[in-house]
Amino acid sequence: MSSPPPESDQERDADAVEFGELALPPAIVEAIGDLGFERCTPIQGEVLPYSLSDYDVTGQAQTGTGKTAAFLITILARQIEFPLARPLPPGTARALVLAPTRELALQIEADARDLAKHADTRIVCLVGGIDYQKQRNLLRDGPVDILVATPGRLLDFCGQRIANLGRVEVLVIDEADRMLDMGFIPDVRRIVYQTPRKRNRQTLFFSATFNDDVMNLAAQWTLDPVHVAIDPESLAVDTVDQRFWTVGRDRKRTTLLEFVRQRKPDHTLVFVNRRDTARRLLSYLQNRGVRCESLAGDIPQRKRLATMRRFKEGETNLVVATDVAGRGIHVEGISHVINYDLPEDAEDYVHRIGRTGRAGASGVSISFVSEDDAFDLPAIAELLGNPITCTLPEV
């Protein structure tokens, strides 16, 4: 979960729902207090009154808005208030959270442990690239209160009948649009069919975008849902100083290098569109004495997790990432997001810059606009609702 905003920001947001108004179980209230939170973020304030009342919800919100805490609080409150009369069989889950990437699943698991620290809650995370036997043993050791998983690894364990989804009370599908983009929907559909029918479970469905394909999935898997939408434009414009620099294709690397050397930014995330671009850019910067690391889909999982840890702890202050790997980055205090390549999908632009300017802090995004990137500007300008002015690099 993100750090709480400064008191001045909380005072200004007088309309925000306070967690104390939601009649949450004491164990959850205590955990929220330990984390330093008093008021809900907009998505939490909109979702929780309905989700805590057992409504299905479809939520439109980007990463960093607090949606993870919204669905985790819902799950924990339900399980604390309605304990089972007898334990479920080993490997049987009461709640299932599906995420598109390993990094995001691991972050959800970490947030769940923070919120459940005062509750007797068993949390298991199933993702590829991490000790298979250990995950197998965790399932066999007993029932699971909250199961967080990526689709492929979960289907593997379901196929072996080690994981059982037949008693799931709450199903969460997170970042459905990314699931669609990554081709996971057939797997997700197979998983959903193994849970109780939608009349016999609560479904919380989150996506950053709701195009026709996503809406069709939501209609299939939810029952008369309440739809909550948090405007991405206001999030991007209000909290991030956005700059667009005109940079020739062959000047991108040197411009980035000059910026890093001159400005010495604190905590910087550089987004590229392709894994091979990430490799070449990483090599270029490292060969010129810049301490940096990379997060991309072709990097072994253990190395990616180690990079994430070092980035969170400040041992590494510059990371080059692709969008898929970047979806799992939830790091406080990112000062700069640099779009080395503009994303082809305008919604991804909002996801990227949303990594900075969080929780009342200021952030800066810098987008390099070359002759190749210029074609993507109109869609971004339309999404933001403002014209974009490109300037020369400030280095």
User: The pTM is what?
Assistant: 0.70
What is the structure's pLDDT at 55?
Answer: 97
Q: What token pair was written down for 288?
A: 């010129």
Domain ranges in the chain are 7-230, 233-391
CA neighbor of 63 nearest in space, from 365, 308, 352, 382: 352
- DSSP classification of residue 360: T
| pLDDT < 50 stretches in the chain | 2-14, 233
CATH topology of domain 7-230: Rossmann fold (3.40.50)
CATH topology of domain 233-391: Rossmann fold (3.40.50)
What is the structure's pLDDT at 256?
Answer: 96
CA neighbor of 308 nearest in space, from 332, 338, 285, 284: 332
What is the structure's pLDDT at 361?
Answer: 65
- The answer to whether the 7-230 and 233-391 domains have the same CATH topology is yes
20 SS3 class: helix
* Contact call for residues 216 and 67 (beta carbons, < 8 A): no
H helix or E strand, kind and range, residue 98: strand 93-98
What is the structure's pLDDT at 2?
Answer: 45
What is the structure's pLDDT at 3?
Answer: 42
What is the structure's pLDDT at 330?
Answer: 66
Show Cβ contacts of residue 3 under 8 Å, excluding neighbours closer than 6 positions.
36, 332, 358, 359
Per-residue pLDDT tens over the stretch 180-206: 888 999 999 999 999 999 999 999 999
* Phi/psi of residue 144, nearest 5 degrees: -125, 125
Per-residue pLDDT tens over the stretch 129-157: 888 999 999 999 999 999 999 999 999 99
